[in-house]
Amino acid sequence: MELYQLDDKGTLFISPDIDDWSIVRERDICAIIDMDGDLDLGVPSVPNEYLYIYFPIDDVVALPDLEKLHAVARMGAMLAGNGMRVLSHCGMGHNRCALVAGLILTYMGLAGQEAVDLIRSKRQGALYNKAFAEYIAAQPAQPLDTGPQMAAQPAEALLRAIANQELQ
């Protein structure tokens, strides 16, 4: 099993099925988006270590539920934007994981076609599913405010802000 790093910072990866968790650990990955049909064997269950997002979809010409897909992608971009390392994987590491990763990249600020080109340059044969590739290519850059400043805020300030919002 090989991980394919997509961005220069090393916060976003794609891969085929995970058959060796030590590789995931070595890369300090903390969030796994599993797009394959079965739950991964040996998912670590250590408290506070991994986020495991399971969203199995089919590698077919039709697109999956776009609302859920974008929700997963936005979360991936938020995590990556906060410096956490995110791995999107499917069975072979070509289409489904790249669909999500492509959207994550658009939420990180790349235009859709740039995202497609980047993924294909990193992983031979990625996005050969034309429906997936065309969908990503059509997406605009839609960078999120990933809120590193929010992550850096002291917990007290954050709680105060939440309390203020609720009181208003």
Residues that bind other proteins (CB under 8 A): 37, 58-61, 90-92, 94-96, 124-125, 128-129
Question: Shortest approach of other proteins to residue 60 CB, angstroms?
Answer: 6
Question: Shortest approach of other proteins to residue 128 CB, angstroms?
Answer: 5
Question: Shortest approach of other proteins to residue 77 CB, angstroms?
Answer: 24
Nearer to other proteins, 12 or 35 (CB): 35
What is the SS3 assignment for 149?
A: helix
Nearer to other proteins, 61 or 155 (CB): 61
63 to 3, 28, 84, 99, 130: CA distances (angstroms): 25, 31, 28, 10, 11
Nearer to other proteins, 50 or 132 (CB): 132
Angstrom distance (rounded) from CA 32 to CA 87: 5
Q: Of 34, 16, 40, 127, nearest to 72 (Cα)?
A: 34
76 sits in which H/E element: helix 66-81
85 to 77, 102, 120, 158: CA distances (angstroms): 10, 15, 20, 24
Question: Shortest approach of other proteins to residue 58 CB, angstroms?
Answer: 5
Nearer to other proteins, 37 or 147 (CB): 37
Question: Shortest approach of other proteins to residue 39 CB, angstroms?
Answer: 15
Nearer to other proteins, 85 or 96 (CB): 96
Residues whose CB falls within 8 Å of the CB of residue 82, separated by 6 or more in sequence, listed in order: 146, 147, 148, 151
